[in-house]
Amino acid sequence: MTRDGGEEEAADDGAGESVPPSHPSLADRRPSLAERRGEDFSVYPASEDSALLAGAVTEDLVDADPGRVLDVGTGSGYVGARLAEATGAWVVGSDVNPEACRQARDRDLDAVRGDLVTPFRSGAFDVVVCNPPYLPAQDGVEWDDWFEVAVTGGETGREVVQRLLADLGRVLAPGGAAYLLVSTATGVDAVVEGALDRGFSVVALVDASFPGETLTVLKLVR
């Protein structure tokens, strides 16, 4: 996800699986954020961050029984659907965007419209995954559209992540784990610190560098 990000055509990852193509090959032909706002944007399209998160989580869980999985901010449902397919897990998605919930249901996920994990009872999930809106808001620019909701994590880029961290432990069952996509644009150390403050231990599973940012998938347990 970058402010120059745009919808990506599926590519073959060499294993016969269709995944979003990597960032560099698209950099030249991506429309700018401003251009995208002129489009009829309704739901965040699966992008390199989505693919990185889905790949890291499926690899981590492939030999486990993940149990009940929540995909927070499910968007198109891409991450949740990949997890369901790879692990056989029951996956439910949550999103504030009603059209995202519709798209996730089209991928055979259960989907609940709501704010982060608030709709769910305590201890409901063994695994929580989230590719949150994480870019810092542009100075002095206030947009109010679904694209902004999908990509912007408030002034610091961490506001949605910090709200998630505050309630994450409640919905995780004992022994559960959460997987969080973070970016250098968000401040990885600050997110790790926030997770540690909430009593999680944190490991970085994978990093990937793209123009303008490095993405990391964090695994949180407690």
Using CB under 6 A, which of 131, 183, 186, 216 touches ligand SAM? Answer: 131
Site string for ligand SAM, 166-205 (x = CB under 6 A): ----------------------------------------
Sign of CA dihedral 59, 162, 154, 214: negative
Query: For residues 83 and 202, which CB has a smaller minimum distance to ligand SAM in the complex?
Result: 83
CA–chain centroid gap for 54, Å, is: 9
3 state SS for 158-177: CHHHHHHHHHHHHHEEEEEE
Query: For residues 1 and 61, which CB has a smaller minimum distance to ligand SAM in the complex?
Result: 1
- 44 to 103, contacts with ligand SAM by CB under 6 A? 44, 46, 50, 73-76, 78-79, 94-97, 100
Q: Which helix (H) or strand (E) holds 25?
A: helix 23-26
Using CB under 6 A, which of 3, 115, 190, 212 touches ligand SAM? Answer: 115
- Report the C-alpha gap between 86 and 89 in whole angstroms: 8
150 is a site residue for ligand SAM (CB under 6 A): yes
Using CB under 6 A, which of 26, 101, 111, 160 touches ligand SAM? Answer: 160
- Torsion angle in degrees (nearest 10) through CA of 41, 43, 59, 125: 160
What is the per-residue DSSP string for 115-148?
Answer: STTTTS-TT-EEEEEE----BPPPTT----SHHH
Q: Which residues bind ligand SAM (CB under 6 A)?
A: 1, 44, 46, 50, 73-76, 78-79, 94-97, 100, 115-116, 131-133, 149-151, 160
